[in-house]
């Protein structure tokens, strides 16, 4: 049954630019297609990736997502909520189920309601996670899991340096790398050093006082969570078979990845985690939930905003001062 009496509230990107380009909209609540679940959203993430989509970055992606604004104008990628209606072919979920997941290429997670294909990145929410915590699992947690396990192929006993260790991806990466048995170092501001150390980093570097690239330390893996460095800078502090990995794709990283795939022991690597097949992403979520339930991982939460204050949430996200994750509820 479709709850036609309800109204969908969401946020539209009016043009590429800063947070001020976001505008609230109201629309009819959509009816789920045969394979879809209609979800009442309880919490949704505000991520750096959302900010890049809003700004139309990187520019070389605009032919695919839209020239002057996204073709799918609503914003938001990660969510958690409850199923309130299902299509007649849905078998994995039922009305009343608590779920979390990803909006996919239609975006639109920063809203009161959303329809998500049951074959997409949609999972049952574990009791160990609140809706706010579950809403951010598709951002820092899954991306860092993919980069450490599959892209960097981090192994127990190896030394890893995490650049931007206090952010969404960084706080997840410190915990995941520590659970993998790696020797973890991380960069952050002095004010976040205690947090990063508490998550499992044995060494914390104040990036304002020390340039990691001029250090005598050598690392098997450098995970640049923010795209603030480069393979060229990292190369001198990588071990002979070291790997520089980064989720922020630019021409420099693309060139280095292609070049080092062919020659040299040190590698630059990239992966678009959100573009992996849904079944691959769901498998990573299952392993992350196992880690959560074993007390090996917990999303670090910074601030929650009402959905009506999404612009303010984006402004805070872009200050570079957030510790962990930001959500709207």
Omega prior to 325 cis, within 30 of 0: no
Across 9-23, 56-70, 283-297, least confident range: 56-70
pLDDT at 213: 95
Contact 26, 9 (CB under 8 A): yes
pLDDT digits (tens, 9 = 90+) for 240-270: 999 999 999 988 999 999 999 999 999 999 9
Is 134's pLDDT higher than 80?
yes
pLDDT band at 106; cut points 50, 70, 90? confident
The confidence score (pLDDT) of residue 71 equals: 85
Task: Write down the mean pLDDT value for the chain.
Answer: 95
Question: Using CA atoms, how far apart are residues 207 and 320, in angstroms rounded to an integer?
Answer: 13
**Rounded distance between C-alpha atoms, residue 245 and residue 163, angstroms:** 10
What secondary structure, in 3-state letters, does the chain show?
CCCCCCEEEEEEECCCCCHHHEEEEEEECCCCCCCEEEEEEEEEEECHHHHHHHHCCCHHHHHHHCCCCCCCCECCCEEEEEEEEECCCCCCCCCCCEEEEECHHHCCCCECEEEEECCCCEEECCCCCCHHHHHCHHHHHHHHHHHHHHHCCCCCCCEEEEECCCCHHHHHHHHHHHHCCCEEEEEECHHHHHHHHHCCCCEEEECCCCCHHHCCCCEEEEEECCCCCCHHHHHHHEEEEEEEECCCCCHHHHHHHHHHCCCCCCEEECCCHHHCCHHHHHHHHHHHHHHHHCCCCCCCEEEEECHHHHHHHHHHHCCCCCCCEEEEC
Question: Structural domains in the chain?
Answer: 7-136+299-328 (3.90.180.10), 140-274 (3.40.50.720)
Contact 22, 54 (CB under 8 A): yes
pLDDT band, residue 145 (cuts 50/70/90): very high
**pLDDT score, position 1:** 43
Rounded Cα distance, 246 and 152, in Å: 10
Q: Report how far residue 48's alpha carbon sits from residue 139's, in angstroms, rounded to the nearest whole number.
A: 9
Q: What token pair was written down for 160? A: 């890893």
Identify the CA nearest to 225 among candidates 251, 198, 188, 261: 188
| Radius of gyration of the CA atoms of the chain, in A | 20
5-30: pLDDT as tens digits: 579 999 999 999 999 999 999 999 99
Q: What are phi and psi of 41, to 5 degrees?
A: -75, 130
């Amino acid at each position: 049954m479709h709850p036609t009496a309800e109204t969908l509230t969401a946020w539209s990107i009016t043009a590429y630019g800063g947070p001020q380009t976001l505008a609230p909209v109201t629309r009819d609540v959509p009816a789920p297609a045969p394979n879809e679940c209609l979800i009442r959203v309880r919490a949704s993430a505000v991520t750096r990736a959302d900010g890049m989509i809003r700004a139309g970055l990187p520019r070389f992606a605009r032919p695919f997502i839209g020239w002057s604004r996204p073709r799918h104008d609503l914003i938001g990628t990660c969510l958690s909520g409850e199923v309130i209606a299902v299509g007649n072919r849905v078998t994995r979920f039922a009305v009343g189920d608590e779920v979390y997941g990803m909006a996919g290429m239609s975006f639109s997670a920063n809203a009161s309601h959303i329809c998500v294909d049951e074959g997409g990145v949609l999972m049952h929410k574990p009791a160990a996670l609140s809706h706010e915590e579950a809403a951010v699992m598709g951002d820092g947690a899954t991306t860092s899991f993919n980069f450490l396990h599959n892209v960097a192929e981090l192994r127990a006993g190896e030394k890893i340096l995490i650049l931007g260790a206090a952010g969404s991806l960084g706080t997840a990466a410190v915990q995941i790398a520590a659970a993998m048995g790696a020797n973890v170092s991380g960069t952050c501001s002095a004010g976040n050093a205690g947090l990063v150390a508490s998550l499992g980093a044995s060494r914390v570097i104040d990036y304002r006082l020390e340039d990691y690239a001029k250090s005598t330390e050598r690392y098997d893996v450098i995970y640049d969570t923010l795209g603030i460095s480069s393979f060229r800078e990292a190369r001198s502090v990588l071990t002979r078979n070291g790997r520089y990995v980064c989720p922020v794709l630019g021409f420099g990283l693309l060139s280095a990845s292609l070049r080092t795939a062919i020659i040299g022991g040190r590698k630059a690597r990239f992966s678009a985690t959100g573009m992996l097949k849904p079944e691959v992403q769901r498998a990573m979520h299952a392993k992350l939930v196992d880690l959560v339930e074993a007390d090996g991982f917990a999303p670090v939460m910074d601030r929650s905003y009402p959905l009506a204050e999404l612009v303010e949430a984006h402004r805070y996200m872009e200050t570079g001062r957030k510790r962990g994750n930001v959500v709207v509820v």
